[in-house]
Amino acid sequence: MFGMRRFAPDAPVVVEAEGLVLREWREDDVPTMVALFDTAEMDRWTPLASPFDEAVARAYVDRAHAARAGGTLQLAITLDGGAALGEVLLFPTEHAGMCELAYAVGAAHRGRSLGARAVRAVLGQAAEAGYRRGRLRIAVDNVASRCVAEAAGFSLTAAPLLRRERKGYVLDMGTWERCLEGARDCSLP
């Protein structure tokens, strides 16, 4: 879809870059996912379900595997392929040549540049798949995510803020973009 190759359901996706191993979620990650994502902060800044219990985590793993066929990657951030420390997502947008990303790092694992490193690592996968630009949508009040965006090479655009209302929160979202390395022309039609 939109320049992104589809990933075969039987071929696991693993991205090794930036000192990380990004891998698909597994059933044995469920307890870790609950610990990472069932927090007030994740509820505030992400569209993840709250409460994020084991049943929600199991359904999330199943949806992540199914979404891969449509060009969406939802990968656990790990140091060595083992315990998950967070997640990075890559999905097609309405523009051919542009992908959107999202990320979340568990509170106990912050301060090690995991989010920025994971975003840069998955952007390599996006470039191989034919994308030319990456986009992030970040709440203007989410200082930590804005710092990750800057560290991953994104710049805030002049696009108008998008207002998103979800789970009782009203978030004004800024649009951040960057050209992917190796793209000869990262302009979009």
Residues 93-131 have pLDDT tens digits of 988 889 999 999 998 999 999 999 999 999 988 988 889
Q: In degrees rounded to 5, what are phi and psi of residue 184?
A: -70, -40
Q: Is residue 106 part of a domain?
A: yes
Q: Read off the CATH number of the domain in which 102 is found.
A: 3.40.630.30
Candidates 161, 162, 160, 157; CA nearest to 178 is 157
φ/ψ bin of 113: left (φ > 0), alpha (ψ from -120 to 50), beta (otherwise): left
179 found inside a domain:
no
pLDDT tens-place string over residues 122-155: 998 898 888 999 999 999 999 999 999 999 999 9
Question: Does the residue 98 lie in any domain?
Answer: yes
Give the angle subtended at the CA of 85 by the CAs of 82 and 86, to the nearest 5°.
120
In a domain, 126, yes or no: yes
**Is the residue at 81 inside a domain?**
yes
- Under a CB-based contact definition with an 8 Å cutoff, are residues 6 and 70 in contact? yes
Whether 180 is in a domain gets the answer no
- Name the domain count of the chain: 1
Domain contains 67: yes
Give CA angle at 161 (158, 165), nearest 5°: 165
Q: What is the extent of the structural domain holding 111?
A: 14-134
Q: Which residues of 149-184 are buried (b: 16+ CB within 10 A; e: fewer)?
A: beebbbeeeeeeeeeeeeeeeebebbbbbbbbeebe
Residue 2: pLDDT band (50, 70, 90) is: very low
The answer to whether position 30 is within a domain reads yes
